[in-house]
Each structure stands twice: as structure tokens, then as C-alpha cells.
Chain A
Amino acid sequence: MKIKVDDQLIEKLQRLALVEINDNEKEIIKNDISKILEFFNKINELNLENVDPLFHPIPQGKLRKDEIKTPLDRDSALQNVKRKENGYIIGPSTVE
């Protein structure tokens, strides 16, 4: 599959990943992504039709007993928060 890596795709990826790319970085990233996707296309040489994907080396997770465990206290849990008030985190605006 040949993918065209243009400004439009980079715009879309910035929004999907929530990562802003500045103008200096844009050309390098465009060029790199294009080269890396070409490198990824190597796997298309294989016939993979009847192969099951292997998602994770451990086939299933496990459950623990539903017992209360002592969590971190609130002050410790919030010690790295830059903006907080009365034990709450202040987040950015979620409305336009």
C-alpha cells in the first residue's frame, strides 16, 4: 500500500495524536514517516491469510479478590499536579 504523506496527513495525525508539530519539524517528520511506512510495507511480501494474530504473550489476564486495598492518600497522589485547588485538579476548558 503506497501512502501519500502530505501536509494534510500530518495535520490529521497531529489532531489524532494531540501533538503539535512546528514548521521546522514538519518537513523532517514528513520525510521520515514516508520512509518508515515504506520499510513497514516489507511485511506485505508474506502470505498471512490463514495466520492468527498474536496480540499478547500472556493469553489471558487474571482477576484478584475484590478486597479493599489502601490507595495513595490524596496529597501524595496530587503532588505532581501543577494546578490544583482544595484537593481537586484544575483542567483546561472542555467547551469552546
Chain B
Amino acid sequence: MISKLVEDLKNGNLDPEEYVAKTFERINKLDKKINAFITLRDEEEVKKEVKESIKRGGKLAGVLIAVKDVISTKGIRTTCASKMLSDYIPPYDATVIEKLKNEGAVLLGKTNMDEFAMGSTTETSYFGPTRNPWDLERTPGGSSGGSGAALAAGYVDLALGSDTGGSIRAPAAFTATFGLKPSYGTVSRYGLIAYANSLEQIGPMAKNAEDLGLLYSIIAGEDDKDATTIKYSVDNPPGEIPIKGIKIGVLSDILEMSDKSVVNVIRTAIDKLSSEGAIIEETKLGYAEYALPAYYIIAMSEASSNLARYDGVRYGYSKHFEGNWIETFSKNRGEGFGMEVKRRILLGSFILSAGYYEEYYIKALKVRRLIKNSLDQLFSKYDVLLSPTMPVLPPKIGEVINDPIKMYAMDVNTVIANLAAIPAISIPAGFYNNLPVGLQMMGRYLSDTMLIGISINIEKILNMHDLTAPIV
């Protein structure tokens, strides 16, 4: 637990030199296999910062944290796992990084991800795929796969991810860790390299629900630099909320779309929650099969617009300079972006072009409204909506990457929360053939701390927390 780590570092029970050295030793030993980091900072520099930070104090004084490489870090290369930004060094920190530094956290390195966060397996990275510490033949999920793997491999206790359609929760589920997609507007996106603004949030990842809550309480809050943040703050880390009496709607239409192996594990977990006094009822989300195409239409449209900024002139891949601007931009973008990114930009451009805007984009936004309305109704009856986080077990490397539809289908349970701006948490539910299965809970808008509080109770009931993959 982080609170104990901070205490130990402060009172000298844990030598900061040793803490950092052991962390680097483990990473140097294992990360050739796992590939969780794109950029790892210099060990001596990190040691010095940890020692200074312990002296200064703070809720995370001296604690090492891994940060997804989509979040801008002043002076530290931020690549978005793309050739386009492979040498980009931000001149400023994202707001969440400033907040972490103010509380004494020390950045360890930048984690691997799908290129521009577009993918569900961390295989579209320009820097090669990340492997799942629980089974090196399999993916850790994505797009925040490096952050999930860094936790499961025992490198760090805290990580940051970002979630546009499940990118925090997929890796949390596949690596037996905890991840929260916060309510939209509660965490600043200033310094988050944009993919789909109306859907995405930065969020915490950890190995137990208490640490997740602590990290969320630090990064959440209104920010003048992000006009989409709301008046909101979490003054103290959320405390435990007993599951007894909590009304849980189990989404049967989502369960039907999930593999039997996954459903088995989830059903067992639900039985345990029921015997602890949770009030369980089966219900249906409705529109479940329409959420996925609607999500991808919206995400690709926003992506094509957001990624227009990469022209190689102000920053980024810039090999070509001859000819006029159309040729120059097209060549640099053609070579700088990977296949999945190009696919999404081209499709987004198509969807937003004359004649198709109404046919696809507007219709998708109407489906988004229907889903939100349906959720509003469900939350008048239930405190939380429960389902598997992912409908499948972690796929093998290469299994889904060449079939976009198959890859997109993995996001069917997770995109709903992004479309509706509500919070969703993924916590470990159990294992099937030694492969992690995650349980997702969605709550009303701004019920983030309640979801965390309930999770603190559930992690004890299921005895699933602080898990590290048995990798040597």
C-alpha cells in the first residue's frame, strides 16, 4: 500500500537508494521480455529526485510512478508510441503531472501504448508490442498496456493511463490490476495528447482500490487550462463502502455477448457479492449492439480532426520538405503514422465529408443520446451496473491485430461509459486457466468515489488485490 510505502520512506524503514535500485534491477531484468516502457529515466537522476522529494514531503513523497506516453512531460520525450512523435520533447507538463509532482511523486518513465491510443492490445505501438506479464504469449490489453504491465510485473505501485473507449479498463482487466475511467470533466486533459476529446479522460491505475483512490484524489479537480473540467475536487481518498444493501444491476445483454470462460468467473464473483448482502438483479442495457459502431464513428471523426495538427512543421516527423505543402504534409503523415492510425484518420475524414456527415456522424450522436437516456433510467433503479470488463480472455499476440472488426469488438462493454461520460472501474474478479478476468462497475455521473469505496470492500471479499505476475 502506498500510504505504508510513503511512511517507510519517510521514517527510514526503507532506504530510498535501495527502493530505486531494486525497481531498476527488476525492470532491467524483465523488461526485455515485457516491453512496458518506451522511455525509462536515468537511475541516478531518479534516485536524486526521490531523496529530495522525501525531504520535501507530500502524499506521494518519493513514490515512483509510471506514466502512459500520451501524457506530456516537460523535458522527457513523449512519443504517443508513434514514429510521428518519436523525438518530441514537450516544453511543458500536463496538469496531472504538475499535481503529482506537487505531492512528491517521482516519474520513473513513460509506458508503451497503442499508437495515439488507437488499439486495444498495445500492438499498434511503433516501439513493438507489450507482453502480458501473466502470459508472455498474450497481450496486456490496450491502449494503456504498458501501464498495466508495469503494475502486474511489480515494477511500480501506481500508474497513469488514459481511456477513450476502455483503454484503462482493458489493461486493468487483462493484467489483474485496478483502473478507473473517471467521470468526464473531473480530471484535466491539459497536456493529454488528444485522440477523441468528447470521450477521453486520464485516469489512475493501481494494484489495489485504496491506492487507486489516493491517486484519483490527487489528479482530480477543476483546471483553468481545460475548459471541459467541472467544479469538482476529491479532498480525501475515498473510504470503504460495504457492499451490503448496494443495488447492483447485472447487464445480461452484455453477459450474452461475452465468452463463457469470462462469464463463469464473473458469475462466481457475483454469487460472493450476493452472499455478502448485495442486492443483485439482472437487467438489460438496451442498444448494446449499437454502442460499438456509434462509438467508433464518433472516435474516428474526432481523431481525423485532432490529428490534423501533425504536419511536421512545428514538431514531429519531418523528413520531406520538397514540393508544395499538400505533397509535403501528405508524405510526412503517410510515413509518420502507422496503419491503424491512418485507417482511423481516413475513415474519420470520410464520415465528416459532405453527404456522409448526416448519414454517419449525426446518427451516431443520436445513438449516443439513446444510450445515455437508457443509462439514466437504469441508475434510477440501481447504484451500480455490473458486467465483465472485457468480453474475452487476453488474446494472443497477433490474434486480433490484423482484423480491425475483431479488435474493435473487444471494446463492446467499455465504450458505453465513454459515450455517456459516466465513471467505470475495472477490478480483478478471478482467473480462468491462470488468465486474469476483470469485473466492471459503472455508476452515475460523479459517483467515482463510491465506485472506489465499494471496490475497497469487494477486493477483500474476493481476495483479489496486490497481485504480481509470477514472472522471473
The listed residue (B308, B315, B323, B369) touching A53 by CB distance below 8 A is: B369
- Tell me if A33 and B350 are in contact (CB < 8 A): yes
**B355 closest partner in A (C-beta):** A1
Q: Does A22 contact B (CB under 8 A)?
A: yes
- Tell me if B343 and A43 are in contact (CB < 8 A): no
The listed residue (B88, B333, B365) touching A55 by CB distance below 8 A is: B365
Chain A residues within an 8 Å CB radius of B367 = 43, 46, 48
Q: Roughly how many angstroms separate A14 CA and B349 CA in the complex, as a whole number?
A: 9
Chain A, 56-96, CB within 8 A of any chain B CB? 56-58, 61-62, 64, 72, 76-83, 89, 91-96
Given A16-B349, A64-B224, A81-B314: A43 in contact with B364 (beta carbons within 8 A) = yes
- Tell me if B89 and A42 are in contact (CB < 8 A): no
Q: Does B346 contact A (CB under 8 A)?
A: yes
- Tell me if A1 and B359 are in contact (CB < 8 A): yes
- Tell me if B92 and A72 are in contact (CB < 8 A): yes
**B418 closest partner in A (C-beta):** A57
Sample of 6 further A-B pairs with CB below 8 A, known A22-B334, A92-B328: A10-B346, A18-B308, A35-B404, A39-B408, A43-B293, A78-B314
- Tell me if B313 and A53 are in contact (CB < 8 A): no
The listed residue (A17, A79, A82) touching B91 by CB distance below 8 A is: A79
- Tell me if A19 and B91 are in contact (CB < 8 A): no
Chain B, 345-373, CB within 8 A of any chain A CB? 345-350, 353, 359-360, 362-370, 372
Interface size on A, as a range, is 35 or more
Q: Does B198 contact A (CB under 8 A)?
A: yes
Given A20-B330, A21-B342, A92-B325: A62 in contact with B227 (beta carbons within 8 A) = yes
CB distance from A75 to the nearest CB of B (A): 9
CB distance from B322 to the nearest CB of A (A): 8
Interface string of A10-42 (1 = CB under 8 A from B): 100111111111100100110011011101111
Chain A residues within an 8 Å CB radius of B88 = 80
Chain A residues within an 8 Å CB radius of B91 = 72, 76-77, 79-80
- Tell me if A89 and B339 are in contact (CB < 8 A): no
Q: Roughly how many angstroms separate A18 CA and B184 CA in the complex, as a whole number?
A: 31
- Tell me if B346 and A81 are in contact (CB < 8 A): no
Q: Roughly how many angstroms separate A77 CA and B92 CA in the complex, as a whole number?
A: 9
- Tell me if B345 and A19 are in contact (CB < 8 A): yes
- Tell me if B329 and A92 are in contact (CB < 8 A): yes
Chain B, 364-403, CB within 8 A of any chain A CB? 364-370, 372
Q: Does B321 contact A (CB under 8 A)?
A: yes
Q: Roughly how many angstroms separate A10 CA and B363 CA in the complex, as a whole number?
A: 23
Query: What is the number of contacts between chain A and chain B, taking CB atoms within 8 Å?
Result: 169
The listed residue (B304, B329, B343, B366) touching A32 by CB distance below 8 A is: B343
Given A33-B350, A92-B313: A42 in contact with B345 (beta carbons within 8 A) = no
Given A33-B350, A80-B88: A57 in contact with B360 (beta carbons within 8 A) = no
Summarize A's interface: helix, strand, loop or mixed: loop
Q: Roughly how many angstroms separate A21 CA and B333 CA in the complex, as a whole number?
A: 9
Q: Roughly how many angstroms separate A25 CA and B330 CA in the complex, as a whole number?
A: 15
Chain B residues within an 8 Å CB radius of A8 = none
Chain B residues within an 8 Å CB radius of A83 = 313, 318, 321
Interface string of B303-333 (1 = CB under 8 A from A): 0100010011111101001011110111101
Q: Does B289 contact A (CB under 8 A)?
A: yes
The listed residue (B224, B315, B368) touching A54 by CB distance below 8 A is: B368
Q: List 15 A-B contacts (CB under 8 A).
A: A16-B350, A17-B304, A17-B345, A18-B326, A28-B339, A32-B343, A33-B346, A35-B404, A43-B363, A51-B369, A52-B369, A56-B228, A76-B91, A81-B313, A82-B312
Given A25-B339, A77-B91, A81-B314: A58 in contact with B228 (beta carbons within 8 A) = yes
CB distance from A6 to the nearest CB of B (A): 13
Q: Does B472 contact A (CB under 8 A)?
A: no
Chain A residues within an 8 Å CB radius of B296 = 36, 39-40
Chain B residues within an 8 Å CB radius of A77 = 91
- Tell me if B198 and A56 are in contact (CB < 8 A): yes
Chain A residues within an 8 Å CB radius of B469 = none
- Tell me if A61 and B228 are in contact (CB < 8 A): yes
Chain B residues within an 8 Å CB radius of A35 = 404-405
The listed residue (B297, B314, B324, B368) touching A94 by CB distance below 8 A is: B324
Q: Does B190 contact A (CB under 8 A)?
A: no
The listed residue (A39, A58, A72, A96) touching B293 by CB distance below 8 A is: A39
Q: Roughly how many angstroms separate A6 CA and B259 CA in the complex, as a whole number?
A: 36
- Tell me if B346 and A58 are in contact (CB < 8 A): no
Chain A residues within an 8 Å CB radius of B326 = 15, 18
- Tell me if A51 and B366 are in contact (CB < 8 A): yes
Chain A residues within an 8 Å CB radius of B323 = 92-93
Q: Does B290 contact A (CB under 8 A)?
A: yes
Given A35-B405, A36-B296, A39-B408: A46 in contact with B324 (beta carbons within 8 A) = no
Chain B residues within an 8 Å CB radius of A29 = 339, 342-343, 346
A18, A29, A72: residue with the most chain B Cβ atoms closer than 10 Å: A18
Q: Roughly how many angstroms separate A80 CA and B89 CA in the complex, as a whole number?
A: 7
Chain B residues within an 8 Å CB radius of A96 = 324
Q: Does B127 contact A (CB under 8 A)?
A: no
The listed residue (B289, B294, B345, B404) touching A36 by CB distance below 8 A is: B404
**A69 closest partner in B (C-beta):** B224
